[in-house]
Amino acid sequence: MIHVCIIGNGIAGITAARNIRKLKSASEFKITVISAETDHFFSRTALMYIYMGHMTYEHTKPYEDWFWDKNNIELVRDYVQKVDTLEKKLNLQSGSTLNYDVLLLATGSSGNRAGWPGENLKGIQGMITYQDIEAMEGNTEGVKQAVIVGGGLIGVEMAECLHTRHIPVTFFIREKEYWSHVLPPEEAQMISRHVRDNGINLLTEQSVKEFKGDSQGRVSSIVLEDGKEYHCQFAGITIGVHPNIKFLEGSGIETNRGIMVDEQLRTNIPDVYAVGDCAQHRNPPSGRRPLEQIWYSGRMQGETVAKTICGKPMKYVPGIFFNSAKFFDIEYQVYGQINAQQQDFEEQFYWEHSDGEKAIRIAFDRESGVVIGFNLMGIRFRHHVCDRWLREKRSIEYVLEHLEEANFDPEFYQKHEDEIAQKFIQDYPNHPIKRKRQGAIAALFGL
């Protein structure tokens, strides 16, 4: 019998465990999942809703507790302190050890810290783990003023959490607009406005100097580099994440920012693999980053590595990039390649609704007219349609002619295709692609 040990019970590790069991029976493969965070797998993207009171922890578990025994997947609640790849042995915090034949590292990420003086005071935390949500319950009790440092998706989620408890929030970011290293200027401005419209005091281009504490060792204020001081009893630090790999020191497993893996998610050590947030690709697939800390990427990697572990080697091929999120009431989707700053080889067509909370950006190659990406704010497109258009390298005029096919909004929602097509015609009066198909586009939309 082959013993597969999986460190981490997030989406990547559990997807791998489930798919290994689909391919191999319990008499062939023993599967052990090790995690100290929770007894069972849960949906990490739903953590904020536990704090907000919309869900309980039990609601976030995709599988009933009996699922693991029924599928002969053993769960161990413990930390792995050391990996001995020569003896194929794991040393656990409890003092016990586990021997493995195959090891899968799916250890996820931890929140970054900047080394600011006072950042370890009581009442200062991130929001990544289940333990973070439990800590927030105590740390925000009776709080009169909170601050958050750092933008991104976790920062806005924390701001929304605190807002539902009617805790005033001052939100500090270094950028000129919210998430401007990812979002193009108009979308970044839109989200900045929307965050402020929801009662959050968003302050841009701010840098932290230190945190100060009271006599009980709890945070009492934040001091900025410009000398301004803001009083608070709670501080969220949301300045990004890094892979959990420190425990691998001395193991011989090659690491950089993450655990180095090849196209089949293998490390440099035989029978050791890595997936999810902690995996760094030596040769990333086209259009993808070496580290991708995205839920669906972790799921796909789990499916891929399961086949390789079970003797059916498979390369990780993620396909067209996709991500989604929500900024308070504005849903966000991105497909393909959208650059925060327009590049020389591309055009970026942008339409924004008059309400300032809906927008579509379509990036396309300047020479060929082939669409390379979509950014959607407050409007949903059908995933399979956008994915197909990008895979088929459809032109901008084709997309505009068939835009209604992608619309995912409910039947009685207002449609915007006519207005979008008119905006394109106005923006590109001399574009060769537009000139060729202007009549067809205008006729289609009755313009």
Per-residue pLDDT of the chain (447 residues; tens, 9 = 90+): 999 999 999 999 999 999 999 999 999 999 999 999 999 999 999 999 999 999 999 999 999 999 999 999 999 999 999 999 999 999 999 999 999 999 999 999 999 999 999 999 999 999 999 999 999 999 999 999 999 999 889 999 999 999 999 999 999 999 999 999 999 999 999 999 999 999 999 999 999 999 999 999 999 999 999 999 999 999 999 999 999 999 999 999 999 999 999 999 999 999 999 999 999 999 998 878 999 989 999 999 999 999 999 999 999 999 899 999 999 999 999 999 999 999 999 999 999 999 999 999 999 999 999 999 999 999 999 999 999 999 999 999 999 989 989 988 665 566 788 889 889 989 988 765 554 445 555 555 555
User: Can you give the residue ranges of every domain in the chain?
Assistant: 2-110+242-309, 124-239, 322-445
CA 221 – CA 226 distance, rounded (Å): 14
Which fold would CATH assign to domain 322-445?
A: Enolase-like; domain 1 (3.30.390)
- What pLDDT, on the 0 to 100 scale, is given for residue 152? 85
The pLDDT score that the predictor gives to residue 286 is 80
Q: Looking at residue 437, what is its pLDDT? A: 47
Question: Which CATH number does 124-239 carry?
Answer: 3.50.50.60
pLDDT of residue 151: 83
Nearest to 351 by CA among 403, 413, 423, 408: 423
Q: What is the pTM of this model?
A: 0.92
- Report the pLDDT value the prediction gives residue 422, as an integer from 0 to 100: 87
pLDDT at 287: 78
Q: For position 264, what pLDDT does the model report?
A: 97
Q: Name the CATH superfamily for 2-110+242-309.
A: FAD/NAD(P)-binding domain (3.50.50.60)
CATH topology of 2-110+242-309 equal to that of 124-239?
yes
